Amino acid sequence: MQEVDILIEGGTVLTLDDADRIIRSGSVAIRGDRIVALGPRADIGSQYRGRRVIDAAGHVVMPGLVNAHTHAAMTCFRGIADDLELMEWLNKYIFPAEAKNVDAELAYWGSLLACAEMIRSGTTCFCDMYIFEDETAKAASLAGMRCLLGEVLFDFPSPNFKTPDEGLACTESLITKWAGHDLVRITVEPHALYTCSPELLKKSKALADRHGVPLSLHLLETKSEREGLTEKLGCSPVRFLRDTGLLDENLLAFHCVWLDEADIETMARAGAKAVHNPESNMKLASGVAPVTALQAAGVTVALGTDGCASNNNLDMLQEMDTVAKLHKVSRLDPTAMSAKTVLRMATVDGARALGMGADAGRLSAGMKADVITLDFNRPHLTPLYHEESQLVYCASGSDVDNVVINGRLVMEGRKILTFDEGEAMDRVNAIARRIRASLGM
């Protein structure tokens, strides 16, 4: 009998491996940061004894969800400026509020609050773009969350740097500081083509290539963005990315709402990855991204919530429900965007897009132990015919009761074990009072 650190036993295990195995009355054995075995409960129980045992009877056991695009610290701006068009929302409200208020304290506590919200709704890994990202990395490390993050880069000053070169230096310091960390990885993140000069974009790409890290940016979120950039650049923005050497397998593009057929083909040939943010795009009336066309072309498309100021939550289970229904109604096709497809976008494809496909997004021996359990002993989840459909169309974040990340139990019985979420809420409420005063609200 071998001893393991955690034994999750008796649940319905959704592996999301290449064979899409579902193990009913199954168990998962975890030692250190890895899954060492999974299979029928009787088989695993005859070989392994857990120092800590999680009874998952009546539960679904599955890979943790991957939120492939958000701005964690923007929990501090949740609901500050709703029902507006993107450019008005950014230029009249968000950018001024950030200029007056964003500092290291806001970034840390806002990010820690975001970690609480994400853990509680089953997210084990997120990709973040914001300001003072070293503070977000510290918060994620304390919370025990896996992440890919980077300092947002602009042509203009941010609260954390005065010049683009200072922003690049900040990013390089993040790469050096967090190199080799178990949970935190760094990406280079120029904000968008409309806020970054070609020079800054090329320097960003050179920095990413020098250190072997991904390059991430917002791309074609609105129709007006596409029209303005096409006139300014003299060609499609996607073609511009290709011609300047930015479009390759290391590029992670957020939103991708206003791509045309040629753009999709170009992205597919380059191996670039896309992240779909349906609820944010709906709320800002940006449009519906051509996700089914991207997937048909072979582009890996992940799923993300975007930030709390434009969503306004970080619940990936809710995001899954939305994306499935949005594409069915927009295409007038009830077969579009199946539950299985959506579930893989939030797990397997999310990990793959973030460059973590070898470690996360699936349950199999040797993978990192990022595992969640959901209590299906609930009225809204009864009866159960198909687990994938129930997860996408019925489940919510409040159904998640246990979360393991990197082999560490970070939430048990809906109690977060790694930090005081009440303190994070109190600190963000205090920061919100400062924000209100600064804006004369």
pLDDT beyond 80 at 127? yes
If pLDDT is split at 50, 70 and 90, which confidence band does 90 have? confident
Looking at residues 97-106, what average pLDDT do you find?
93
Please enumerate in sequence order all residues whose Cβ is within 8 A of that of 263, keeping only pairs 6 or more positions apart, or say none: 220, 236, 238, 239
In whole angstroms, give the CA distance from residue 403 to residue 393.
Answer: 21
pLDDT beyond 90 at 97? no
In whole angstroms, give the CA distance from residue 57 to residue 176.
Answer: 44
Contact 325, 333 (CB under 8 A): no
Query: Which two structure tokens, joined as six digits, stand for 363?
Result: 């349950």
Contact 339, 393 (CB under 8 A): yes
Looking at residues 175-194, what average pLDDT do you find?
98
Torsion sign over Cα 309, 431, 192, 271:
negative
If pLDDT is split at 50, 70 and 90, which confidence band does 300 have? very high
Contact 77, 94 (CB under 8 A): yes
Q: Count Cβ atoms below 10 Å from residue 87 Cβ, excluding itself.
A: 15
pLDDT at 390: 98
In whole angstroms, give the CA distance from residue 150 to residue 28.
Answer: 33
pLDDT beyond 80 at 441? no
pLDDT beyond 90 at 142? yes
Looking at residues 142-149, what average pLDDT do you find?
98
pLDDT at 198: 97
Looking at residues 215-224, what average pLDDT do you find?
97
Looking at residues 265-283, what average pLDDT do you find?
97
For the chain, domains (ranges, CATH) are 2-63+367-413 (2.30.40.10), 65-353 (3.20.20.140)
pLDDT at 103: 97
pLDDT beyond 90 at 85? no
Write out pLDDT tens, residues 50-73. Answer: 999 999 999 999 999 999 999 999
Single pTM value for the model:
0.97
In whole angstroms, give the CA distance from residue 333 to residue 153.
Answer: 40
pLDDT beyond 90 at 89? no
Write out pLDDT tens, residues 369-390. Answer: 999 999 999 999 999 999 999 9
pLDDT beyond 90 at 120? yes
pLDDT at 247: 98
Looking at residues 1-7, what average pLDDT do you find?
96
pLDDT at 96: 87
pLDDT at 86: 79
In whole angstroms, give the CA distance from residue 63 to residue 65.
Answer: 6
Looking at residues 134-157, what average pLDDT do you find?
97
Looking at residues 226-241, what average pLDDT do you find?
97
Query: Which two structure tokens, joined as six digits, stand for 101?
Result: 């208020």
Contact 420, 112 (CB under 8 A): no
Q: How many CA atoms lie within 13 A of 145 on its CB side?
A: 33
Q: For the chain, what is the mean pLDDT?
A: 97
Q: 3-state secondary structure string, the chain?
A: CEEEEEEEEEEEEECCCCCCCEEEEEEEEEECCEEEEEEEHHHHHHHEEEEEEEECCCEEEEECEEEEEECHHHHHHCCCCCCCCHHHHHHHHHHHHHHHHCCHHHHHHHHHHHHHHHHHCCEEEEEEEECCHHHHHHHHHHHCCEEEEEEEECCCCECCECCHHHHHHHHHHHHHHCCCCCCEEECEEECECCCCCHHHHHHHHHHHHHHCCCEEEEECCCHHHHHHHHHHHCCCHHHHHHHCCCCCCCEEEEECCCCCHHHHHHHHHHCCEEEECHHHHHHCCCCCCCHHHHHHCCCCEEECCCCCCCCCCCCHHHHHHHHHHHHHHHHCCCCCCCHHHHHHHCCHHHHHHCCCCCCCCCCCCCCECCEEEEECCCHHHCCCCCHHHHHHHCCCHHHEEEEEECCEEEEECCEECCCCHHHHHHHHHHHHHHHHHHCCC
